[in-house]
A and B are shown apart, each in its own frame.
Chain A
């Protein structure tokens, strides 16, 4: 007991020391590492990313190669997750397919965050009429549920990884921009902004060097929490036949194929579902932990 206390005290001392020396980012990292549930989520995410990037290392099968003789083999030694309706190895298809799901999710998150930053910081910084115009536009964008917007856009653009990314990111813009706007508005009143203006820096320069660096924490929180939802939307889109389409392996489209054989062959339904759920689970846990670490006020 005393040892634990000692350790905690030492840790706390280290923490304050570190805060003084290396600034707040080190402290955030310490808080993050100490969150066990969050670390579990992070490990899940990292494992998935490694599995998907290094897919050829983890399977000897080609996700595209068809061998109709081998179709619908149940999980066994040769095919650990079984094979699909064309005799392709399901495990290989799932880990190769993860590349699309994860890449699109990250891409969409980046894109919507950038757009959100742009709109939100302009609205929050300038205020007045610009703000009114942008907020009204966001109101309109938010009246359409994000999945529905993604469906409408991707049915217009057609399928394909890039179009899917674009379609999905549209739904995330409004939320990010709103958050950004409120953060920038709270920063705008500070003295250092006034000082920057007084020393003659332009609006663009003030936003880039004095406003944006102070909004990084909420931005990271917003982005990390939206990845799970994005993966959900991607697989949903692919599931109904928009998004990424066969033969490209994507979790949602594999699941859509599995649905046709739902009565007779369970692995084609259960394993893609598991992959989708575990990925979202991991990113949700990690996102929550990141939020707690970056903004301890929220937790207390």
Chain B
């Protein structure tokens, strides 16, 4: 198991390197010369060369890529903004906690709401409650976060004046951004839970548990839930990625000073070091979440754990098969 986790962590290195190269290449191939954009029209060749050297843009593709990777790996340095000359890493340190807090609370809400509602809907299949929840889930799944946010703003912020419409200063002002992050995901987790739960409660081992005389509650929480958790964890992991990527839109709507607004401003200004840094950081978090998801599989399901334990043998077998 420990071997598997180490292998899995080591595998993150080439993935992150690949992401870095892709992201860097996209911004490298972008038409337009940032040096000219920064200096404006009246520049001399000397000035141009000095600025290019300062921004590390005077080397070729591989030179730039190399020093970019080197800076990140050795000093955790994502470079500087083209315009403000501020260190990106410092800005990350200030802004990331806000985005992370929104994301983490959002995820807690979506699991705490989505899982029980999904179970309820499965246990009471074909009841009025089930239909109502299914319809709500379908409608929520059709609403992108920003549409939900805007409608929420109109209703609760502007019409009813219950909630503030920008910032994160008071506890009340957290409600709408959190709801924006969590609601579409609640719907998806609910649907996934319902589907898997329905599948599991028809299995023989649930009937066995019932005939043993176990209480419904024990059956549900101990036997059924544990068996349907894996797809739910997969979906939840995917939701974390969605929330992180969606933060750029959510924070823009509510004017929250997190990673999202930082990246948004950078995109508008074509400040590529910032855009690259943000994408990298978010991709890193997604990778970590995927790692946690994979470890969770093994923790929950002894079958998967057993497969990991014997994965070395299996690989050899597979390779052999491929040859023949």
The chain A residue with its CB closest to the CB of B246 is: A147
A143-B286 contact in complex given A239-B146, A281-B139, C-beta closer than 8 Å: yes
A145-B249 contact in complex given A262-B154, A277-B143, C-beta closer than 8 Å: no
Judge whether A273 and B147 touch: CB under 8 Å.
yes
Within 8 Å by CB of A255, from B16, B23, B31, B147, lies B147
List which A148-176 residues lie within 8 A (CB) of chain B: 148, 151-153, 155-158
Q: Which of B37-45, B110-118, B262-270 contacts A (4 or more CB under 8 A)?
A: B262-270
Judge whether B143 and A140 touch: CB under 8 Å.
no
Within 8 Å by CB of A137, from B18, B252, B290, lies B18
Judge whether A266 and B146 touch: CB under 8 Å.
no
Judge whether A259 and B138 touch: CB under 8 Å.
no
List which B139-154 residues lie within 8 A (CB) of chain A: 139, 141-144, 146-147, 150-151, 153-154
The chain A residue with its CB closest to the CB of B321 is: A127
Judge whether A145 and B286 touch: CB under 8 Å.
yes
Judge whether A240 and B26 touch: CB under 8 Å.
no
Q: Which of A59-67, A114-122, A192-200, A228-236 contacts B (4 or more CB under 8 A)?
A: A228-236
Judge whether A144 and B283 touch: CB under 8 Å.
yes
- Report chain B residues within 8 Å CB of A242: 267
- Report chain B residues within 8 Å CB of A266: 154, 158-159
Quick check: is B282 within 8 A (CB to CB) of the other chain? yes
A31 smallest CB distance to B (angstroms) = 19
Judge whether B26 and A269 touch: CB under 8 Å.
no
The chain B residue with its CB closest to the CB of A242 is: B267
Judge whether A240 and B249 touch: CB under 8 Å.
yes
B125 smallest CB distance to A (angstroms) = 14
Judge whether A281 and B244 touch: CB under 8 Å.
no
C-alpha gap A141/B322 in the complex (Å): 26
Judge whether B26 and A152 touch: CB under 8 Å.
yes
A228 smallest CB distance to B (angstroms) = 7
A136 smallest CB distance to B (angstroms) = 7
Judge whether A143 and B19 touch: CB under 8 Å.
yes
- Report chain B residues within 8 Å CB of A284: 138, 141-142
- Report chain B residues within 8 Å CB of A128: 322
List which B36-77 residues lie within 8 A (CB) of chain A: none
Judge whether B26 and A153 touch: CB under 8 Å.
yes
A269-B151 contact in complex given A139-B15, A281-B142, C-beta closer than 8 Å: yes
- Report chain A residues within 8 Å CB of B150: 255, 258-259, 262, 269, 273
Quick check: is A278 within 8 A (CB to CB) of the other chain? yes
Quick check: is B132 within 8 A (CB to CB) of the other chain? no
A241-B138 contact in complex given A143-B19, A273-B151, C-beta closer than 8 Å: no
Judge whether B15 and A143 touch: CB under 8 Å.
yes
Judge whether B142 and A259 touch: CB under 8 Å.
no
Quick check: is A102 within 8 A (CB to CB) of the other chain? no
Number of A-B contacts (CB under 8 A): 126
**Size bracket, chain B contacts:** 35 or more
C-alpha gap A276/B279 in the complex (Å): 27
A81 smallest CB distance to B (angstroms) = 15
Quick check: is A146 within 8 A (CB to CB) of the other chain? yes
A156-B158 contact in complex given A284-B138, A284-B142, C-beta closer than 8 Å: no
Quick check: is A13 within 8 A (CB to CB) of the other chain? no
The chain A residue with its CB closest to the CB of B157 is: A262
Quick check: is A285 within 8 A (CB to CB) of the other chain? yes
The chain B residue with its CB closest to the CB of A167 is: B26
Quick check: is A47 within 8 A (CB to CB) of the other chain? no
Quick check: is A263 within 8 A (CB to CB) of the other chain? yes
C-alpha gap A137/B150 in the complex (Å): 37
Quick check: is A280 within 8 A (CB to CB) of the other chain? yes
B144 smallest CB distance to A (angstroms) = 4
What DSSP secondary structure best describes chain B's contact surface?
A: helix
Judge whether B147 and A145 touch: CB under 8 Å.
no
Q: Mark B209-253, 1 if CB is under 8 A from A, else 0.
A: 000000000000000000000000000000001101110110011
Quick check: is B170 within 8 A (CB to CB) of the other chain? no
Judge whether B154 and A140 touch: CB under 8 Å.
no
Q: Mark A228-270, 1 if CB is under 8 A from B, else 0.
A: 1000100110011110000000000001001100110010011
A259-B253 contact in complex given A144-B286, A148-B279, C-beta closer than 8 Å: yes
- Report chain B residues within 8 Å CB of A285: 138
The chain A residue with its CB closest to the CB of B153 is: A262
Judge whether B16 and A143 touch: CB under 8 Å.
yes
Judge whether B154 and A269 touch: CB under 8 Å.
yes
C-alpha gap A232/B283 in the complex (Å): 21
C-alpha gap A136/B139 in the complex (Å): 36
Judge whether A148 and B282 touch: CB under 8 Å.
yes
Judge whether A236 and B144 touch: CB under 8 Å.
yes
Quick check: is B203 within 8 A (CB to CB) of the other chain? no
- Report chain B residues within 8 Å CB of A278: 142
Quick check: is B120 within 8 A (CB to CB) of the other chain? no
A143-B264 contact in complex given A239-B146, A240-B249, A270-B154, C-beta closer than 8 Å: no
Residues of A within 8 A of B (CB): 127-128, 136-137, 139-141, 143-148, 151-153, 155-158, 228, 232, 235-236, 239-242, 255, 258-259, 262-263, 266, 269-270, 273, 276-278, 280-281, 284-285
Ordered by A's residue number, 7 sampled pairs between the chains whose C-beta atoms are within 8 Å are: A127-B322, A228-B142, A235-B146, A239-B146, A241-B268, A270-B151, A280-B142
Given contacts A143-B18, A266-B159, A284-B141, 20 further A-B contacts (CB under 8 A): A136-B14, A136-B18, A139-B15, A140-B14, A144-B282, A145-B286, A151-B267, A156-B26, A156-B27, A156-B30, A228-B142, A235-B144, A240-B252, A241-B268, A255-B150, A262-B153, A273-B143, A277-B139, A280-B141, A280-B144
Residues of B within 8 A of A (CB): 14-16, 18-19, 22-23, 26-27, 29-31, 138-139, 141-144, 146-147, 150-151, 153-154, 157-159, 165, 241-242, 244-246, 248-249, 252-253, 263-264, 267-268, 270, 275, 279, 282-283, 286-287, 290, 322
